[in-house]
Amino acid sequence: MKNIFRVCSGLLLAAFVSGAFAASADDAQLIARGRYLATAADCAGCHTAPQGKPFAGGYGIDSPFGQIWSSNITPSKTQGIGAYSERDFARAVREGVDANGRHLYPAMPYPSYAGIADDDMKALYAYFMHGVDAVDTATPDTTLPFPFSQRWLMAGWNLAFANGKPFVPDASKSAAFNRGHYLVEALGHCGACHTPRNFAFAEKPYLPLAGGQLGAWQTPNITSDPVSGIGGWTQAELVQYLRTGTVPGKAQAAGGMAEAVQASLQHLSDDDLNAIATYLKASKPVRNPVDVKPAYAYDGTHAGGYEAALRATNQGIGVNSTTPGFMKLTTGAQLYSGNCASCQPSGAGTSDGAFLSLTHNSTLGRHDADNLVMVILNGLHIQTGKDDRPMPAFADDLNDEPGRADRHVRDERVRQSRRQGRCATREGAARGRRQSGRRSRLRADRGSGDRAAGDLSDRAVVQVQTPAQVVLLTR
């Protein structure tokens, strides 16, 4: 009898232990899946402050209405979301309403997250509750000016602009397309940066992924349009860009996109990166009327005459040129030589891709110079795998006037070709410096304001020469 009891007890214990191990394995898989989804959604990008603990919040997000501070989303029961039920969590993520019924601001991309699938939401909840360390640290309160301080008004905003619809796959499309659609439009919330916004800071639904503004940065058009968008990119180039942030002859990620590549996109699977590329290549094309050819297509063919004319003079730098259309040579070449030429001696880049060519470069080929100014002010740093490609920031080294000269050191070939472009202004540079956390040393000239450059033929121009490069400066 005792032996029978021992056998039965052993079997029951074995069954219990086996079930516990199975549950533990299932939980571990769910948490791991949630970690991947949180990476794809780039949650840490907004909910982790510089040098802060993961997901502890306290990251300041600049908006047209004031600074919005991200919340603590660790499982802390006092400062985070540790007391949230799964239903509370899903409501906050999808509807922008926290467990206390308080409306969140749409800096949290809940209009996009409304499309997150139930199974994925369950995995995200498991990860944030059991895969993230609790941090009992309070975050700053968001204090926007009236009337934006009245969070209850967001109920009306949600009614007007947040449709709250779940993602529904298109049965007529491939699995890769539908997966890419889900990643781009819901989980990855690409439109939050790449879709222009209206007066109420809502995405314009009739211009999806057509390019927008993120602080002082201009986010590019990523529709399938071959001129304004990525229609001229191959599938492999798009995947490479998402994984590394760099495609020679096309683009180099900077600003928020560099952060997204480093913290999120490079960690996605090959299948998911290909799915994103598949969806973008099939997206509705949107053309910007000012674009006449792709930004990366400018190669300097218009500069030959100016360069030849400058080489034919014998006065040298700093002396007036008698060539029609030229004025006194400026300090632009000297600035470039002193600050840039050690890495970019001719602007041609390096064969290993460590330094990209400044021709066939979408940052310099854009119809505005805002992103070029931001790169000069803030520098560039992106690390993918073993590659670390830093560029120093010059916000503290160049005052306003040299900054304006250096802004146009690159590229006469682009400037003269694109004649309809808009110059970044002192105010735009000042915004960039404030957002980068560096003390602005600009001598603000409110009178010049954010003005359009207009046709370059109607403006005073000066020309300088760097090694193998002719440079234009607008005054």
Q: Which residues are annotated as part of the binding site for heme c?
A: 43, 46, 190, 193, 340, 343
Known binding residues:
43, 46, 190, 193, 340, 343
Element (H or E) spanning 63, and its range? strand 60-63
SS (H, E, C) 392-446: CCCCCCCCHHHHHHHHCCCCHHHHHHCCCCECCCHHHHHHHHHHCCCCCCCCCCC
Q: For residue 5, what are the CA distances in angstroms to 9, 13, 17, 112, 251?
A: 6, 12, 18, 58, 73
Q: For residue 248, what are the CA distances in angstroms to 30, 353, 361, 439, 451?
A: 38, 7, 8, 33, 32
Residues 6+ apart with CB under 8 A from 437: none
Residues 6+ apart with CB under 8 A from 401: none
The span from the CA of 418 to the CA of 438, in Å, is 32
The span from the CA of 200 to the CA of 378, in Å, is 29
Q: Is the peptide bond before 147 cis (omega within 30 degrees of 0)?
A: yes
Amino acid at 118: D
Nearest residue to 212 (alpha-carbon basis) of 72, 337, 302, 204? 204
